[in-house]
Amino acid sequence: MTTVILNRAAAGGRALRRWKEVAGALSSYLPDRDAAVLDDPGQARARVEEALGLGELQFVAAGGDGTVNLLVDTIVKRAPPEVLHRICIGAVGLGSSNDFHKPVREDRRLRGVPFRLDFNSPVTHDVCFVDAGDGQRHYWIINASMGLTAEANYFFNHPDRTLRFLKDRSTGAAIAYAATRTLAMKRDIPTNLKVDCEPSFAAAVTNMGIVKNPNFSRSLTYRSPYEPASGSFHVHLCEGMSRMRVLLTLWRSSRHGFHGLSRTRSWRAPRLAVTADEDFLVEFDGETIETRSASFAILKEAIQLCS
């Protein structure tokens, strides 16, 4: 049996309609499924825990990146350690950005909906985590950020009246509005960073991506390699940038890659620690928390993902 967690609220509440449009055509990938349509994260976590208790090993997140995150976080926290590496997660991309599916294969798209449901050819994958000032450990597998990307994600999930109007009508316009408003309110974050075992250093963070999958926010990408089971992530730092420099960096990196651009640095690392004297937002797979410290690390080869 494959447990499907369907997030009705994804894509501004359009997820259930999109699921009904493709569910029949996807039945060959999910012939024996138990789909639960859920609105509340607590209910979703309880459903996943129930399936784990019954010995289920195949799960599907039908929603956006936040649904993938909820599924991964719950499984890693609740699955018996001896079976965690045998659990396989698939997804049907019903959300706004669907970074989990990028780059999208054309043979893994149906009516514009990307999917990863090949349980016969799974990919062994690291699971990343962040320990923050809230005293909890948060697991993620796509990418994390602080600075502009985290601020834009927070605003997208906590919209004003204009953004709510746009989200109901056009995902692209909503993302563009959220990015523009966030850039207009840009502030650098004074931090101390410690990358693995290297000495710590000060950085005025305009934006920082901590990524397994380098793709984010529609068509943007850092163009670092995708290494699912390397035991490390890539860190991409923008520091002390003006608004114009941010725009130029976005344009150039999306076309030619991030490496070597002015006021940027990049590393591959298994650990990263961030501290600051003021609160800042940390985003991971679309979810956000506020903290003054965050430590990122990895569980190597912890889980299986559908190809």
Domains of the chain, first to last: 2-121 (3.40.50.10330), 139-300 (2.60.200.40)
135: left (phi over 0), alpha (psi -120 to 50) or beta: left
The pLDDT value given to residue 62? 92
The pLDDT value given to residue 197? 85
Three-state helix/strand/coil letters over the chain: CEEEEEECCHHHHCHHHHHHHHCCCCCCCCCCEEEEEECCHHHHHHHHHHHHHCCCCEEEEEECHHHHHHHHHHHHHHCCCCCHHHCEEEEEECCCCCHHHCCCCHHHEECCEEEECCCCCCEEEEEEEEEECCCCEEEECCEEEEEHHHHHHHHHHCCCHHHHHHHCCCHHHHHHHHHHHHHHCCCCEEEEEEECCCCCEEEEEEEEEEECCCEECCCEECCCCCCCCCCCEEEEEEECCCHHHHHHHHHHHHHHCCCCCCCEEEEEECCEEEEEEEEEEEEECCEEEEEEEEEEEEEEEEEEECC
pTM of the model: 0.90
The pLDDT value given to residue 190? 97
Query: Do residues 189 and 241 lie in contact, with contact meaning Cβ atoms separated by under 8 Å?
Result: no
Torsions phi, psi of 75, nearest 5?
Answer: -65, -45
For residues 168 and 294, give the distance between their C-alpha atoms in angstroms, rounded to a whole number.
Answer: 34
The pLDDT value given to residue 111? 87
Task: Going residue by residue through the chain, which has 307 residues, state the pLDDT in tens, using 9 for 90 and above.
Answer: 899 988 877 777 778 888 888 888 888 888 778 777 777 888 889 999 999 999 999 999 998 999 999 999 999 999 999 999 999 999 999 887 789 998 888 888 988 899 999 999 999 999 999 998 778 899 999 999 999 999 998 888 888 899 888 887 777 788 888 888 888 888 899 999 999 988 999 999 999 999 999 888 767 788 889 999 999 999 999 999 998 888 888 777 777 677 778 889 999 999 999 999 999 999 999 899 999 999 999 999 999 999 8
The pLDDT value given to residue 218? 66
